[in-house]
Homo-oligomer: A and B are copies of this chain.
Amino acid sequence: MSNKKGFTLWFTGLSGSGKSTLSRMIEGELRQRGASVEVLDGDEVRENLSKGLGFSKEDRDTNVRRIGYVAKLLSRNGAAVITAAISPYAEVRDQCRLMSRSFVEVYAECSIDELTRRDVKGLYAKAISGEIKNFTGISDPYEAPENAEITVNSETQTAEESLAIIMGYLEENGHIAGVAASA
């Protein structure tokens, strides 16, 4: 463990809601401030820790718990950890919260209507047609958090606005030092 204060910034939200984009923006901001940062992206973690798991509730929960375990290890060693998996189930998110010492949940909110309209990767169309099964928000549940520390919304805010909200929260709560007016 480290004397540096690690924390876990845990995104949750539907596919396309802005989790990965915001994660990379925050990563850049934190690195500029000299922090030790690790982004645990949903796809990368599945590849490295959960190959063979599917998208049943049980398999999703196992995958998310593994992300939580790695976030725990990294954050207690002083890293700023950002996770960007859909993590649809509230109970497992709460288990992950208990594992990490400084856990900040960020709800990346966006309506299904808007996500279906954007559909950058064409996934929503395939989910609606049934070509993709178990798609969160369409054919699989998504449990929005009721007590997230931060909520951002890619329908009503620009990414820069959301970034400012998150960075502001991290500063105000002592997770990162404010940008000092250095000489």
Q: Which residues from chain A sit less than 8 Å from chain B, CB to CB?
A: 1-4, 34, 36-38, 48-49, 51-52, 62, 65-66, 69-70, 73-74, 77-79
Contact = CB atoms under 8 A, between A and B. Distances in A.
B73 A37 contact: no
A62 B51 contact: yes
Nearest to A31: B1
B49 A66 contact: yes
Given A49-B49, A51-B62, A62-B51, A36 B78 contact: yes
Contacts of A2: 36, 78-79
15 contacts: A1-B38, A4-B36, A48-B69, A49-B49, A49-B66, A51-B62, A52-B62, A70-B70, A73-B74, A74-B74, A74-B77, A77-B77, A77-B78, A77-B79, A78-B78
Given A2-B78, A78-B2, A66 B48 contact: yes
Given A2-B36, A37-B1, A78-B2, A49 B73 contact: no
